[in-house]
Structure 1
Amino acid sequence: MTSNVLFLMTDQHRVDTLGCYGNATVATPNLDRLAASGTRFDRWYTPTAICTPARASLLTGQAPFRHRLLANAERNVGYLEDLPPDSFSFSAALRERGYNCGLIGKWHTGTHRTAADFGFDGPDLPGWHNPVDHPDYLDYLAERGLPEHKITDEMRGTMPNGRPGNLLAARLQQPVEATFEAYLTTRAIELLERYAADRADAGRPFYLALNFFGPHLPYVLPDHYFDLYDPDDVELPASAAETFEGKPPVQRNYSAHWAFDTMTAADSRKLIAAYWGYVTMIDEQLGLVLDALDRLGLDQQTAVFFTADHGEFTGAHRLHDKGPAMYEDIYRTPGLIRIPGGPAGQVRDEFVSLTDCTATILELAGVDPAPAVDSRSLLPLARGESPAWDGHLVCEFHGHHFPYPQRMLRTDRYKLVINPDSVNELYDLDADPDELRNAYDDPALAGTRDELTAQLYRLLRDRGDNFHHWMTSMYPIGDDVRENPSASRMETSP
């Protein structure tokens, strides 16, 4: 099966902001339209809730521990900053298959190796936020007589040392057509038109990614979107009642870093309202791209994906951004796929991952997905089939600002998080969907905890994640132990 691929991606996008996922307030008609014409995945997770490692997993089809690009360059604390030169990438495989490959927008998958080094067409747009001083963007504004980037009404808290906090939101003194989001949309449609012509003239298929930098904070928006939703209509997330009792202390530290308690409840509601406005603005831009796909007659020849690299707290658990806390807010993300000939309006509840997109893209292109070793093709699910599927998911984290290793096992009802230098966590998501009560030491759940711990140990061991060595000596992991954790060549027996 050979297909064009249009891959639409946002950054730091909460799944509960989309109408198709149940939000009755936020306007996302274009993403809702995509969901209605394809498949919505209700248990779609990121392999790690941080930009660069998650995007590297998408590119390679490998879990972060395997590709080893473990942190964002801007906060890197000694990890690799680029994928090794011999790394597999789906883009190189598609190029070998004769595909045009383009990427418009956020790359953030390395410091020195750019998207072009992996075979993608498009402007080099480095960094984690909109590079509003980029020459191509400034040319875009100048050609159209549009004003350059300027903000007012900044929203930020106060850091523990008394310094002004991180910028969380601001008004953008530009019309929507001057926004960086509109610029990215324009460039994506231009490249789509070029690829469509090449498809018509030479039969050459394409892969085109449009990667927005938003709705990642700061939420910098024109007046219309900044004020689109009334803060009085916003309910703070239930987990804003977080006390951090029985939780890893790092979570309280991160809350202080993001200055949550230095802002009022009204401020928090306004931030959420602005975030919603950002989501709607991006949805409108995505609609223009989907309309262009239809106009060019490519909709029946093109698989369309929509997802995000990870979620966002927006006040949940008294936090902003993301970090060393493996809550659903930042690990569960939207995931929509429409494939040619696939069923419309389908909803799947299997556990799937952003990493699974790699094998899916390869299979759509008729390329062997085997090198994407931690990826499973989602095509059987998107076709409406019922293949055997794992009833669990493993996620990992390695640090942001400082090293902080974590592993998570998510099952139908429970979530286990192992924090080697802190307290471990167990959540019963049926009884406690907001993850406010750490039940790790609850005697009533001791049997469940030990079963999950042994399961996570086996999964990590079998996939080659050396995190399992810590678990071998520290926790009850059952009898299926294949090694002595202290083994050396000096020992005469296992």
Structure 2
Amino acid sequence: MAGVTRRRVLGSAAAGAAALAGPRAARAAHAPNIVFIMADDLGYADVACYGRPDLATPHIDRIATRGVRFTQAYANSAVCSATRTALITGRYQYRLAVGLEEPVTTRFAGGIPAGHPTLPGLLRQAGYRTALIGKWHLGSVQDYGPLQRGYDAFWGFRGGTIDYFSHRGTDDKPDLWDDDVRIEEAGYATHLLGQRAVEMIAASAKAGRPLFLSLHFNAPHWPWETPDDEAESRRIAGSNLRHFDGGTQATYRRIVGEMDAQIGRVLDALEANGIAEDTIVVFTSDNGGERFSDTWPFTGRKTELLEGGLRIPAIVSWPRRLKAGAVSTQPMITMDWLPTLLAAAGSAPDPAYPSDGIDLLPILTGQASELLRTFFWRYRANAQAAMRDGDLKYLKIRDNTFLFDVVADPLERANLRDRRPEDFSRLQTAWTAWSAGMLPERSDSFTESYTGAQLADHFGVGAPAGK
């Protein structure tokens, strides 16, 4: 059954081209392909071109060599599914109930509401073939799955992570899908996702219809398993996969390296099919790094609103339009991708659901100067709040409040709260006003954090109340 479904998926890419007609077909014929690659829990410095000296990522670096590398990119959240809500809607995740989950767990029965416009859905309206390969994590119930929210095809997993070999989730249930059909397929997950992406690119190129491909890896998310660690997969079978007694720096480097190799296959497939020149390739992460990540020059990690939990690598290439080898200091955030990619496709956000992000294309193409930006965050665990306004950042963790200049002081060490009280009060007041316009926090939503019992550098930190 799995093979039949996959053939149907790939075959329909070609068949779908014939269905386009009129103005939409003309617009789509000149639209760039888009390959959006998202790593899972990759730290800011976990890529060689961002400064990690002990890790080789030649293919991710290749995207940077051919495009633009952002040095002030932020995730919409310090945890995965909240950021993915912002990515697919182009809006602050706190506008939707699913975005209040930090992250979505199997106990959550909702997802993106029916009728809410999404990035793949809007691109499909513009004539694109849309496909998600990899992680969804925006609702495990079929009614809220990727095929119901704008994707024409799906091959991957619905939950937060899977074991790299057994493909079981944190609830120990099989979680590998071909469209809405649960399947079993042997192999290391990163390799399987890369292979599906290569197949999809080839099929789409033959069809002559622009492709929006979301390639969302589970790497380098735990469990800490390389292609040589099937014994570790068996050891932790039946658990929630977090194995705080597992992993090493060498293991982590290998996991990232395997993902990089698959990204290389994808880039090679674009070249082999003659579509690389007019394909937008984005590489980024869903949040800051976790246990074995490098977040230098920042402190903090996933689940924390310190810079290390929010700052991410972000690279975009588009050989036909963007300057190669450029570095941008423009502050940007995950929800900017929706208006930016829609503009590249000749489309725009639904006016009834205006994006909270901005179209970055004028800045990327040199038609506009870089802008000062203001970003806001909330995170329920440890009562966290944050706002960046220009170079200044307001931060609250439990009852402790801070004001940092994150450009001059990226480590967030010098608290300027008492030295610059007017700025502190201004940002705190602005954050309160912004939060009042979002959905209120809910005590029954899940919020993830790390305690002193789990990570030694979190000594004194307990589990959040009501978790």
- How does the TM-score come out when normalised to structure 1? 0.69
SS at match of 2:419: helix
Task: For 1:221, give the aligned amino acid.
Answer: T
* Corresponding residue to 2:277 among 279, 294, 300: 300
Q: 1:15 to 1:320 in 2, by over 3 A?
A: closer
One of 122, 143, 148 as aligned partner of 1:117:
148
Instruction: Choose from 367, 378, 384 the match for 2:360.
Output: 378
User: Cα deviations across residues 44-77 of structure 1 (Å, max 9, x unaligned)?
Assistant: 101111111111111111101213322123276x
In structure 2, the residue corresponding to 1:16 is in which secondary structure? coil
Structure 1 pair 276–185 and aligned structure 2 pair: CA distance change class (3 A): same
1-structure distance, mates of 2:162, 2:380? 25
Cα deviation for residue 372 of structure 1 reads 4.2
Offset at residue 395 of structure 1 (A): 2.5
Structure 1 residues 313 and 66: CA distance shift in structure 2, 3 A = same
Task: Verify: 1:363 aligned to 2:348, yes or no.
Answer: no
1:305 Cα deviation from its structure 2 partner:
0.8
State which structure, 1 or 2, has the greater radius of gyration over its C-alpha atoms. Answer: 1
State which drifts further: 129-138 or 377-386: 129-138
RMSD, matched Cα: 3.1
Tell me the residue number matched to 1:345: 325
The Cα shift of 1:93 comes to 1.5
Q: Report the counterpart of residue 291 of structure 1 in structure 2.
A: 268
What residue number does 1:158 align with? none
Counterpart amino acid of 1:444? R
- Residue 167 of structure 1: aligned partner: none
Q: CA deviation at 1:422?
A: 2.8
Question: Which runs of 5 or more residues in structure 1 are unaligned?
Answer: 142-177, 227-257, 469-494
State whether residues 114 and 149 of structure 2, in contact with CA within 8 Å, keep that contact through their aligned partners in structure 1.
no
Q: Deviations over 1:80-112 (max 9, x none)?
A: 731221211121222222210001000111232
1:217 alignment partner in structure 2:
222
How many Å separate the matches in 1 of 2:370 and 2:363?
10
Shift, 1:444, TM fit: 2.5
Confirm or deny that 1:91 pairs with 2:73: no
Report if aligned partners of 1:3, 1:364 keep a CA contact under 8 Å in 2.
yes
Quote the Cα distance in structure 2 between the aligned partners of 1:290 and 1:34. Answer: 9
Residue 410 of structure 1 corresponds to 388
Determine the structure 2 residue equivalent to 1:280: 257
C-alpha distance in 1, partners of 2:428/2:440?
Answer: 13
Task: Measure the CA separation in 1 of the matches of 2:136 and 2:355.
Answer: 22
Measured against aligned partners, the alpha-carbon deviations of 1:419-439 in whole angstroms (never above 9, x if no partner) come to 5x63223334466533356x3
Partner of 2:431: 456
Letter in 2 for 1:117: Q
Q: Which amino acid aligns with 2:419?
A: A
- Separation in 1 of the partners of 2:47 and 2:125? 36
Is the CA contact 2:335–2:355 (under 8 Å) kept in the aligned structure 1? no
Which residues of structure 2 form unaligned runs of 5+? 1-29, 168-173, 232-241, 442-467
In structure 1, distance between residues paired with 2:407 and 2:120: 40
Percent of paired sites with the same residue: 27
Aligned to 2:19: none
Q: Is 1:21 the counterpart of 2:21 in the alignment?
A: no
Deviation at 1:297, TM superposition (A): 0.4
State whether residues 135 and 160 of structure 2, in contact with CA within 8 Å, keep that contact through their aligned partners in structure 1: yes
Which secondary structure does the structure 2 equivalent of 1:424 belong to?
A: strand
Partner in structure 2 of residue 243 of structure 1: none
2:305 to 300, 305, 326: 326
Distance verdict in 2 for CA 1:427–1:275, change over 3 Å: farther
| In 1: Cα distance, 2:440 partner to 2:391 partner | 24
Distance 1:398 1:75, change over 3 A: farther
Residue matched to 1:193? 202
Q: Secondary structure at the match of 1:274?
A: helix
Shift of 1:225: 13
Shift of 1:321: 6.8
Partners of 2:177 and 2:121 in 1: how far apart? 27
Equivalent in the alignment of 1:57 = 86
Note the C-alpha offset of 1:418.
3.4
Deviations 1:219-273 (A, max 9, x none): 21134999xxxxxxxxxxxxxxxxxxxxxxxxxxxxxxx998xx8xxx9xx6333
TM norm structure 2:
0.73
Letter of the 1:219 counterpart: W
C-alpha spacing 1:305/1:193, structure 2 compared with 1 (3 Å)? same
Q: 1:59 to 1:430 in 2, by over 3 A?
A: closer
Maintained 8 Å contact 1:19/1:28: yes
3-state SS in 2 of match to 1:355 = helix
Letter in 2 for 1:114: G
Determine helix, strand or coil for the equivalent of 2:154.
Answer: coil
Q: 1-side partners of 2:279 and 2:266: how far apart?
A: 13
**Counterpart of 1:101?**
130
Counterpart secondary structure, 1:24: coil
CA apart distance, 1:459: 5.1
Cα drift, residue 307 of structure 1: 0.9
The 3-state SS of whatever aligns with 1:220 is coil
Residue matched to 1:33: 62
Cα 1:13/1:447, change in 2 over 3 Å:
same
Partner of 2:438: 465
Mean CA deviation greater in 83-92 or 422-431: 422-431
Sort the Cα spacing of 1:413 and 1:4 in 2 relative to 1 into closer, same or farther, 3 A: same
Residues of 2 paired with 1:185 and 1:312: CA distance? 22
Summarize deviations over 1:465-492 as a string: whole Å, max 9, x none: 3779xxxxxxxxxxxxxxxxxxxxxxxx
